[in-house]
Structure 1
Amino acid sequence: MANQVTEKGRTPKAFLRIITLVSTFGGLLFGYDTGVINGALPYMAKPDQLNLTPLTEGLVTSSLLLGAALGAVFGGRLSDRNGRRKNILSLALLFFIAALGCTFSPNAGIMLVFRFLLGLAVGGASVTVPTFLAEMAPVERRGRLVTQNELMIVTGQFLAFALNATIASTLGENDHVWRYMLVVATLPAVVLWFGMLIVPESPRWLAAHGKVGEALRVLQQVREENRAQAELQEIKAAIATESEIQKATMKDLNVPWVRRIVVLGIGIAMSSQLTGVNSIMYYGSEILKEAGFATKAALIGNVANGVISVLATFVGIWLLGKVGRRSMMLWGLTGTTTVLLLIGVFSSLLKGNESLPYVILSLTVTFLAIMQGAIGPVLWVSLSEIFPLRLRGLGMGISVFFLWITNFVIGLLFPILIQKVGLSGTFYAFAAIGVVSIIFIWKTMPETKGRSLEEIESYFRTYDEVHIDQKTAVSK
């Protein structure tokens, strides 16, 4: 069969690349909007601007994260009902409106409202874009295409750090320099909205809603010759199988092995955030200022954090194919906890020393290299692997919700902790939590690499049956 898109001058692979690039602008916006506050905060906090206290600094930062928690919960449901493409178009519009609202906010109250709305868009994008990519990609390229969204997230954060430094260096004397930093986020939102107009709907979603003919036409645009019809049959078979599976509900948490998997998912999600990674991603400039850098120097130094995050993500993707998930997580947590402890030690021993800012910068760069190279990649892969099909929606929803709520709490409390207990005390606390996370992962997380979902389910069932039998024998 002739390729049906040649008349438009593009091959299926080329069209798939366009789809991936356009849709992952949602990930770029996710990264930029979570990272831009890092550089904007020192300027908007000034008395002649929004006059932020440590509490309102935390609220401005974390209101986005609370919105993201809710956006993640409802974003998946809306994309199931309305379609992935329509949902991303709506999110692009919300990104644009919320970014403009933040840019022109006259006070902290209005800023909180629009940061929360921006969070709804971030949370919605965090679940909708990977789902859309997974459903558009052929099976042999699925992993690579989905991880491109993760790469775009850290690229967005890097761009935020780099543009913050550039804008501060050129417009630093302008009272409203932070508004220029925030308004940049409208540009990728425009690209995402117009780009999605030429992108088709997910064939998986179309087939699930009875639009089989449209699903076939989309597959013929993004698959090589003779593959579209065969894949459509596979999609229809999968949909038929799923329709026969009874979906899990909250009542299923009464079953011990189900509850154990969900608790593990929550623990993995929370452990990744309790490293304090986002205290560095959101407050990196404040940390470097606290260590002794001037504001502009802190913004420039913080660019190194963005660069290493991007590079380490490539390494993490490569390591996933070589190393076990459990080993990567344990070694990653051990590394980040050690670095957190060193930040606490050096910020105490070298307080007032001219070398302290450079020591702290080198340690934050090291921390992010370990975090993005080991813990970050394992997080999403493990969450997708530990839940059997019947539990995936419930388990992923609960786990991601706790991830964002943990993120919210850290974003809210970090400025207050810095004020109350200082840089060293704050990072000693993160290091102590890191030790607890290592113990939790070591005791509860099995190795899932190379195991089928059925084998993982069997492991959890067998584990609980053995322990129940042991307890029964002891009681007798």
Structure 2
Amino acid sequence: MLRLKVEDRPTPKEVYNWRVYLASAVAAFAAVFIGYDGAFIGTALSFASFKEEFGLVGLPAKKLADISANVVSSYQAGAIAGVIIGYPVGIFLGRRWGLIGAASVFSIGAGIMLAANSSTGLAPIYGGRVLAGAGIGAASNLAPLYISEVAPPAVRGQMLALYEIGWQVGAVVGFWINKGAQDNIAPGHTQWLLSFAVQLVPSGIFLAGLVFLVESPRWLIRRGRREEGLKKLCYLRQLPLDHVYMREEIEMIDAAIEQDERVLGTGFWAPFRVFRDKSLLYRLLLTCALFAWQNGTGINAINYYSPTILRNMGITGQNTSLLTTGVFGSIKCGLSIVWAFFLVETMGRRKMLMIGAVGSSLAMLVIAGITKTVDPVANPTTSVPPSGIASLAFLYVWTIFYAVSWNGSPWVVVAESFSGSIQPVAQVFGAGSNWLWNFVISRATPTMFLNMGASGFGVFLFFGLCTAAAVPYVYFLLPETKSVPREEVDRLFRKGLTPRHANKIVLAELAAEREGHTGAYAGGQGHGSSGLGSEKDKGEEEFFEGARSPA
């Protein structure tokens, strides 16, 4: 039987309750419309009805590749700006209102896209995608941050994995919406417009869910709204304030705040002093680089340009292409659920990243070899050739290894690797790194396929080699973050600790310290550096007297 919870300390069963799961699921729903865009846009651009409406039929291959790259990458450009804007919004207005604003901006951008037609040209699509991308960028910053702040350590990876599941659910919907439009709607304006219009559905559902979202207790405490923050924390944990688990969690939060103020100071710009600390800067670069490796697997080339990918593998025909991408998305979604509920908290982040990189790399290198040998673009056939079937099989092998590793693990690692006021800054750079490399790949892929050898085999070779290089990176440099409380993650990265052994050592230290601490609680002694038991905490006890299970 799989052991799903590896706890840093004994945790009451009440902590793993529907409230924390629901709050995490609502925040994670932001990823649904991110995933939808990645799935629908590439195939929507390949519709004959879209090309005819905007005068793209008969254009030279280079010109068409540039237009496709511009449409796709305008979204990523907006997302980079949104990540940056999301930081002050999240700091001053909170995670909840920041997510509400992000969903609203996305919805406005999605609505603008619907104004595009043969008269307006592509301008509304460009403008709408930049605006929608800004909403997505802010949401990709704030949603994982919120989840990491409300989730108990033992299931934090699982809760963050809900974000990835949302991403894949959106992708599956995007693939099959396009397949349905191709099969059931006559070629014309409505056919391609439907794919764009469906974006408004998940954003509307997300906005409705955010109305009921509980604000992050850690944000409230940091903003000086301590009583409200403690009440929300008790609500999410379903425990009274005087429970030993609550006292320990509050102590860690207070200690982290005091440490931040002592090391970084106070104020809006204080967390950015991370750049003065070489060890923190190294950690930031180390974790944010995971998104470069993630994009180096080829995932966004496949997401955004699946018709091109499949054509170069020998899979021809619009209907066949759509069916194939739909199956690809469904496999990825199903295995992301397996990763979230059975692997991320048992196998951990490091091991799955390395296993996934090895398998994905080998599959991509085999596709490169087949494509180089057969050259499907120069030797087209009326039906799918055996080489195309073989390439497709290895694409699905690639999907299996990618889905249980690099699909969501980088988001989990970045969200878990920092504590205190540094965490929002780290999330900005993590999400920004994702969208930066996403932009680079989405902008470059069409040109890469035109210039990197027979049928673009060099593209597959490039992605295979990049993924292989990620294995030593993870093995030698990245510590395992699972089950370590957010306020204690600095220990994992301390000087002299070997990354591959750090997790076991830190968890053992915490267990030993807790044994001594439990004795202090039992004997009525002090409560550590945060000063629990002080006048402040007596006031908290009075505040919660008679309200041990606040709503």
The TM-score with structure 1 as length reference comes to 0.84
Given residue 306 of structure 2, which amino acid in structure 1 is its aligned partner?
Answer: G
**Relative to structure 1, is the Cα distance of residues 323 and 185 closer, same or farther in structure 2, using a 3 angstrom cutoff?**
same
Which residue matches 1:81?
92
Q: Pairwise CA RMSD of aligned residues?
A: 3.2
Which residue matches 2:389?
358
Match of 1:108 among 108, 122, 127: 122
Mean alpha-carbon deviation: is it higher for 281-290 or for 347-356? 347-356
Residues in 2 aligned to 1:138 and 1:316: alpha-carbon distance in whole angstroms: 19
**Relative to structure 1, is the Cα distance of residues 19 and 326 closer, same or farther in structure 2, using a 3 angstrom cutoff?**
closer
Which residue matches 2:78?
67
Which residue matches 1:416?
447
**Relative to structure 1, is the Cα distance of residues 22 and 322 closer, same or farther in structure 2, using a 3 angstrom cutoff?**
closer
Given residue 46 of structure 2, which amino acid in structure 1 is its aligned partner?
Answer: P
Which residue matches 1:244?
262
Given residue 382 of structure 1, which amino acid in structure 2 is its aligned partner?
Answer: V
Task: Tell me if the contact between 1:29 and 1:185 (Cα under 8 Å) persists in the aligned partners.
Answer: yes
Residues in 1 aligned to 2:273 and 2:144: alpha-carbon distance in whole angstroms: 28
Which residue matches 2:310?
288
Residues in 1 aligned to 2:460 and 2:108: alpha-carbon distance in whole angstroms: 36
Which residue matches 1:278?
300
Given residue 194 of structure 1, which amino acid in structure 2 is its aligned partner?
Answer: A
Given residue 244 of structure 1, which amino acid in structure 2 is its aligned partner?
Answer: R
Task: Tell me if the contact between 2:160 and 2:412 (Cα under 8 Å) persists in the aligned partners.
Answer: no
Residues in 1 aligned to 2:318 and 2:481: alpha-carbon distance in whole angstroms: 45
Give the length in aligned residue pairs: 453
Task: Tell me if the contact between 1:219 and 1:228 (Cα under 8 Å) persists in the aligned partners.
Answer: no
> Deviation per CA, 1:319-345, whole angstroms, max 9, x where unpaired?
333435444323322222222211222
Deviation at residue 136 of structure 1 after TM alignment: 3.6
Residues in 2 aligned to 1:201 and 1:386: alpha-carbon distance in whole angstroms: 22
**Partner SS, residue 433 of structure 2:** helix
Runs of 5+ in structure 1 lacking a partner?
Answer: 1-11, 464-476
Match of 2:141 among 127, 149, 161: 127
> Deviation per CA, 1:61-85, whole angstroms, max 9, x where unpaired?
1111122222223213311111111
| Percent identity of equivalent pairs | 22
> Deviation per CA, 1:100-153, whole angstroms, max 9, x where unpaired?
122322322331221111111111111211222333445554443332122111
**Relative to structure 1, is the Cα distance of residues 266 and 85 closer, same or farther in structure 2, using a 3 angstrom cutoff?**
closer
Which residue matches 2:107?
96
Which residue matches 2:54?
49
Deviation at residue 161 of structure 1 after TM alignment: 1.0
**Partner SS, residue 375 of structure 1:** coil
**Relative to structure 1, is the Cα distance of residues 258 and 132 closer, same or farther in structure 2, using a 3 angstrom cutoff?**
closer
Structure showing greater Rg = 2
**Relative to structure 1, is the Cα distance of residues 360 and 436 closer, same or farther in structure 2, using a 3 angstrom cutoff?**
same
Task: Tell me if the contact between 2:271 and 2:421 (Cα under 8 Å) persists in the aligned partners.
Answer: no
Give the 5 Å matches for 1:293-372: 293-317=316-340, 318-323=342-347, 325-350=349-374, 351=376, 352=380, 354-372=385-403
> Deviation per CA, 1:226-257, whole angstroms, max 9, x where unpaired?
25884684455654444334167767656654
Task: Tell me if the contact between 1:104 and 1:179 (Cα under 8 Å) persists in the aligned partners.
Answer: no
Which residue matches 2:494?
458
Residues in 2 aligned to 1:238 and 1:117: alpha-carbon distance in whole angstroms: 36
Residues in 1 aligned to 2:421 and 2:148: alpha-carbon distance in whole angstroms: 18
Residues in 2 aligned to 1:134 and 1:50: alpha-carbon distance in whole angstroms: 47
> Deviation per CA, 1:138-190, whole angstroms, max 9, x where unpaired?
55544433321221111111111122211221115234412101101101211
**Partner SS, residue 200 of structure 1:** coil
Deviation at residue 58 of structure 1 after TM alignment: 0.7
Task: Tell me if the contact between 1:42 and 1:286 (Cα under 8 Å) persists in the aligned partners.
Answer: no
Task: Tell me if the contact between 2:256 and 2:419 (Cα under 8 Å) persists in the aligned partners.
Answer: no
Deviation at residue 443 of structure 1 after TM alignment: 5.0
**Relative to structure 1, is the Cα distance of residues 186 and 448 closer, same or farther in structure 2, using a 3 angstrom cutoff?**
closer
**Partner SS, residue 46 of structure 1:** helix
